[in-house]
Amino acid sequence: MRRIHVMAAVIRDADRRILIAKRPDSAHQGGLWEFPGGKLEKGESRHEALRRELREELGIEIDDARPLIGLHHDYPDKHIQLDVWEVSSFRGSAHGAEGQPVLWVRESQLPQFSFPAANQPIVTAAQLPDRYLITPDCNEHELFSGIERAIDSGIQLIQLRQTQLNADQYNELSKQVLARWGAQVTFMLKGESPPTESNTGWHLTAAQLRELVQQPTPVRPLPKGRWLAASCHNAEELQMAEMLEVDFVTLSPVLPTKTHPDALPLGWESAHAMLRRCRLPTYLMGGLTLAELNTAHHAGAQGIAGIRGLWPSSQ
């Protein structure tokens, strides 16, 4: 089987729109939409290949780019290694320099287009932010003021975690939170069953993930279009998350953490090795702060998740 290393780019303009291109009908996976890019040539670095491909295909010059997600996909006749970068700044007017149709679309519009199977995790990664806040156990006043500060700081994805509450208390609190901020950010809820609110996602514990996968016929418990996430701590759980078709995962702990002081940290090298084999957007967590965000990106992660590392100070 042929092995091909392909560079691809999620390119954003000043309005945060994303550029997609249509594959020629005569090409492999012809007629489908894709994220622009092309093959890594012998002797090229990844960044050099990305610059060359986008110059040739779109007539633009990259100013700022960073790794977004790495994927492997087997077709009947070839093995594709997809190396995807996010381009946040470029020079020139992007156009189909090779005659291919191109479109600028909003993140929310991406699911409306047909992409090759290998591109589906990229569609998800392009819609997710690089910070995933998990709320600390605290009283209602501290929680509400903290969420307000987090949203003001640019946080877009929040897991509502309040382990001190019973199920009824948690459900009542989540209703208040969603009524106040549900239209501004995406909330991932916890619990023994999927949340009923259509504008929320569900974050599974590792135990819930294992239980669902071990069913005689594992079925994704939320419809596509609503985020489903899972907490993972090793390669086996990452594989389970792929089997259940979750949208994204957290992988922890990367470093020692006060929340779970007895947990053996994975370390950066082990986390990077796991991410090379994982097809899902992954947030690394455990002892991480914004200072490690760039390191997480270059390890192959979507970004970082955390409680203490992301919870905004009241000062």
Question: Which CATH number is 11's domain given?
Answer: 3.90.79.10
Q: Is the pLDDT of residue 76 over 90?
A: no
Residue 134, SS3 per DSSP: strand
Asked if residue 107 belongs to a known ligand binding site, the reply is no
Q: So what's the pLDDT on residue 315? A: 63
Residue 314 lies in a domain: no
Q: Which domain holds residue 145?
A: 131-306
Asked if residue 309 belongs to a known ligand binding site, the reply is no
Are 37 and 161 part of one and the same domain?
Answer: no
Predicted confidence (pLDDT) per residue in 4-34, tens digit = 899 999 999 999 999 999 988 766 777 899 9
Q: So what's the pLDDT on residue 26? A: 66
CATH number for the domain including 141? 3.20.20.70
- Burial group, residue 3, by CB count within 10 angstroms (0-12, 13-18, 19+): exposed
Q: In what order do the strands lie in the sheet with 102-105?
A: 33-34, 18-22, 102-105
Asked if residue 35 belongs to a known ligand binding site, the reply is yes
Asked if residue 303 belongs to a known ligand binding site, the reply is no
Domain boundary among 56, 86, 113: 113
Q: So what's the pLDDT on residue 31? A: 85
Asked if residue 37 belongs to a known ligand binding site, the reply is yes
Asked if residue 47 belongs to a known ligand binding site, the reply is no
Q: So what's the pLDDT on residue 49? A: 95
Asked if residue 294 belongs to a known ligand binding site, the reply is no
Residue 187 lies in a domain: yes
Asked if residue 53 belongs to a known ligand binding site, the reply is no
Q: Is residue 244 within 8 Å of residue 218, measured between CB atoms? A: yes
Are 91 and 200 part of one and the same domain?
Answer: no
Query: Using 50, 70 and 90 to split pLDDT, how confident is the model at 98?
Result: confident
Q: So what's the pLDDT on residue 64? A: 95
* Average pLDDT, integer, range 170-191: 97
* Average pLDDT, integer, range 148-169: 97
> What percent of the chain has a predicted confidence (pLDDT) above 70?
98
Task: Extract the runs of DSSP E, i.e. beta strands, from the chain.
Answer: 2-11, 18-22, 33-34, 37-39, 61-74, 78-91, 102-105, 131-134, 157-160, 186-189, 200-204, 228-232, 248-251, 282-284, 303-306
Are 216 and 254 part of one and the same domain?
Answer: yes
Are 299 and 155 part of one and the same domain?
Answer: yes
Residue 123 lies in a domain: no
Domain count, the chain: 2
Are 188 and 261 part of one and the same domain?
Answer: yes
